[in-house]
Structure 1
Amino acid sequence: MCCSVGFARSLGLALLPLALCCILANLLLLFPMGETTYIQNNQLASYILYFGGLGGGGLLMLVPAVVFITLGKCNCCWNDSLMMCGSVLAAIIGLVGSGYCFLISGLALFQGPQCFNNRWSYPFEGQGGRYLLQPETWSQCLQPVHIIEWNVTLLCILLGSAVLEFIICLLQLGNGLINAVCRPCCYKQEYSLNA
C-alpha cells in the first residue's frame, strides 16, 4: 500500500511546534538573559545574527508544514500526483531550511560566544568546540552572565530541532515521490477525511 496523505498531514503537524521552537530559541539567543543591550551594542556572536533558527528552522519551515497539513484539502483542478509533487518541492525547501539551521547553529556552537573579559572577544574561537567539555574555563566570560550556558542550551535545542525537521522532511520527500509515481496505479479511490 502506498503512503497516504494522512501521513503527510501528521508530518506537517509535527513540523509546526519544531518551527516555533526554533523561532523562540533564536529570539532568545538575540537577548541573552533577557537583556537588549548586547544586540544594540553588537556584542553577540556573529553566527547568531545569521538567524539560522528564525529563518531556516523557523519561518522557512512553515512552508512545508502548511503544505503538508493542507495536502488534499484543496478542491482545485490539480490531480493527486501533482499535489504530491508540490509536497516534494515543499519537502526540499524544508530540507534546505533545516540544513541551514543545523549548519549555522553548529558553527555558532564551535565558535563560542562573544563575551567580555578585559575586552569583548571570542575567547573560545579556534578551539574546535573543546571548551564545551571544559566547563571550568567558562568563568572567563564575565559578561553577559552565564552566556555560555545560555548559548549552549539554546544552540543544542536548535541543533536537535533541525535534525528532527530534516528527518520529517526527508520522510515526506520519500512519501511524496512514491505517491507521485505510484499513486495512479495504487489507488482507484479518492481520499476523504471524516471528522
Structure 2
Amino acid sequence: VLSSKMCVASCSRCVGVSLVPMAFVCMLANGLLLLPDLKAHYLLDGHVTREARWGTGLWASGFLMLCQVGCSCVALAAAAFCCLVSATGLVQGPLCLHNSTQGLAWEMPLKLQKNPIYLFDRTLWPAACEEPRNIVQWNVVLFSVLMATSGLQAVLCAAHTINAILGIIFGPRFCKNKICKHY
C-alpha cells in the first residue's frame, strides 16, 4: 500500500540520513574553532571569539540535529541560529593578538573595518594577526563550513516539517503520482 505515510516516511528517512553526517561536520568545525592552531590555551585564556565559544555548531547544528526526531521545529530554529551566528563570526573576523596603536592587544582587528571586505582581500590576512598563526584563514574556512552546513540543515528541516504537515493534512492524496490501493 503506497500512501502518504510511505511518502512522508521515505522523505523523513532521506532527511534524517543526510542530517546526521552534517551534524558531525558542524560539531567538528565548531570544536576546531575553539582550538586555534589546535592549542587549548587560546580557549582557556579567553582568546577565542564569542561566536566560537557559543558552540552553536556543537549544540545547535550538532547535538540537536542528532535528536531531530520529533523536534523538527526546534532543529530548524537551531540550525537557522547557528547559520546566523556563523555569518556574524565570519563578518566580524577573529579575535587575535595584533599590533594596535597601543602595542600588542587581543582584539578583533578586522571588525574595526566595519566592512567585511577582508573576506575578499586575502592580502589583508597575514598582517591582521600576530597570534594564533593563520587564525583568519582558520575562522573563514570553519565559519563558512558552519554557515553553509547549518543553512542546508535549516532548509532540510523546513522541508521535513512541511512534508510532515502536508502528510497529516492531505493524507493519501499527498502522493499524487503514486499508485495507492484502498482496502
TM-score (norm 2): 0.84
Structure 2 gaps, min length 5: 99-103, 175-179
**Whole-Å Cα distance in 2 between the matches of residues 108 and 29 of structure 1?**
11
Structure 1 gaps, min length 5: 68-86, 190-195
Give 1:156's aligned amino acid: S
Give 1:150's match in structure 2, choosing from 125, 138, 141: 138
Q: 1:103 to 1:182 in 2, by over 3 A?
A: same
1:31 is aligned to 2:18: no
Once the two structures are TM-superposed, the CA of residue 188 in structure 1 deviates from its matched residue by 6.6
Matches within 5 A, 1:50-61: 50-61=54-65
Conserved 8 A contact 1:57-1:162: yes
Any idea what SS the aligned residue of 1:4 has? Answer: helix
1:56-97 alpha-carbon deviations (Å, 9 max, x no partner) = 111111121xx2xxxxxxxxxxxxxxxxxxx5xx22112111
Residue in structure 2 matched with residue 110 of structure 1 by the alignment: 91
Give 1:42's aligned amino acid: G
Once the two structures are TM-superposed, the CA of residue 173 in structure 1 deviates from its matched residue by 1.3
**Whole-Å Cα distance in 1 between the matches of residues 133 and 105 of structure 2?**
15
Corresponding residue pairs, total:
167
1:132 is aligned to 2:132: no
Aligned residues: CA RMSD: 2.0
**Whole-Å Cα distance in 2 between the matches of residues 167 and 110 of structure 1?**
22
**Whole-Å Cα distance in 2 between the matches of residues 166 and 185 of structure 1?**
27
Q: 1:184 to 1:29 in 2, by over 3 A?
A: same
**Whole-Å Cα distance in 2 between the matches of residues 128 and 56 of structure 1?**
27
Conserved 8 A contact 1:61-1:93: no
**Whole-Å Cα distance in 2 between the matches of residues 62 and 165 of structure 1?**
11
Once the two structures are TM-superposed, the CA of residue 170 in structure 1 deviates from its matched residue by 1.2
1:174 is aligned to 2:178: no
1:94 is aligned to 2:64: no
TM-score (norm 1): 0.79
